[in-house]
Amino acid sequence: MKKFISEFKAFINRGNVIDMAIGVIIATAFGAITNALVNNIFMPLIGLVTGGTDFTDKLNWVVVAPTYDEAGAVVDAGVTIGFGTLLSAVINFIIIAFICFMIVKAFNKAAKKAEELKKKEEEPAPEPETPAAPPAPTEAELLAEIRDLLKNRAE
């Protein structure tokens, strides 16, 4: 049992598990934001265009109406097929998928740039080019120069 507990403790303390837990928490919060966006912004606008104020309820199809008792409490909830609710979930999914795509795209771009910088750092810097030395004078040029110097001296 002690071995099992120590293995579990090692598993929990790994960075990947903690990162995953943080990711789930952030995803849940992000899901709440997109649900609010879809339900309070997009669906009313779509409902307004289609002629209703609550688009989600307009597309829900009531197969069996709910029944109520004399006090107005629900006795039987009935059966409703929620096309509007499904459409709301699809729009919600598309928004989340698009934002995830943009995040992954930005991450891949940053990773590619980091890899290019790493390759640049690993490459040896090219040696600075030294100007080429002028070619050495030929024997004929040296003799001509000596002759000219002797001629100028004699004058």
Report residue 46 as tokens.
Answer: 């779509």
Q: How many helices (H) and strands (E) does the chain have?
A: 6, 4
Identify any residues that bridge with 74 across adjacent strands, giving them in sequence order.
68
Mean pLDDT of the chain: 81
For strands 60-64 and 74-76, give the pairing: unpaired
Strand partners, 68: 74
Look at residue 153 in the predicted model and tell me its pLDDT: 81
Q: What local confidence, expressed as pLDDT, does residue 113 receive?
A: 92
Tokens of 99: 């934002």
Domains annotated on the chain, with CATH: 2-112 (1.10.1200.120)
Evaluate if residue 109 carries a pLDDT over 90.
yes
What letter represents residue 115's amino acid?
E
Residue 97 vs residues 31, 44, 90, 104, 146: alpha-carbon distances, Å:
11, 21, 10, 10, 86
Distance (Å) of CA 138 to CA 12, 90, 131, 152? 81, 86, 21, 21
Q: Which has the closest alpha carbon to 85: 45, 55, 47, 62?
A: 55
DSSP letter, residue 42 = I
16-68 pLDDT per residue, tens: 777 778 888 888 888 888 888 887 887 778 777 777 656 666 677 888 888 88
**How far apart are the C-alpha atoms of 57 and 87, rounded to whole Å?**
11
For the chain, what's the residue count?
Answer: 155
pTM for this prediction: 0.51
The predicted model gives 108-124 an average pLDDT of 86
Predicted confidence band of residue 125 (pLDDT cuts 50, 70, 90): low
d(CA 101, CA 40): 24
Residue 112, pLDDT score: 92
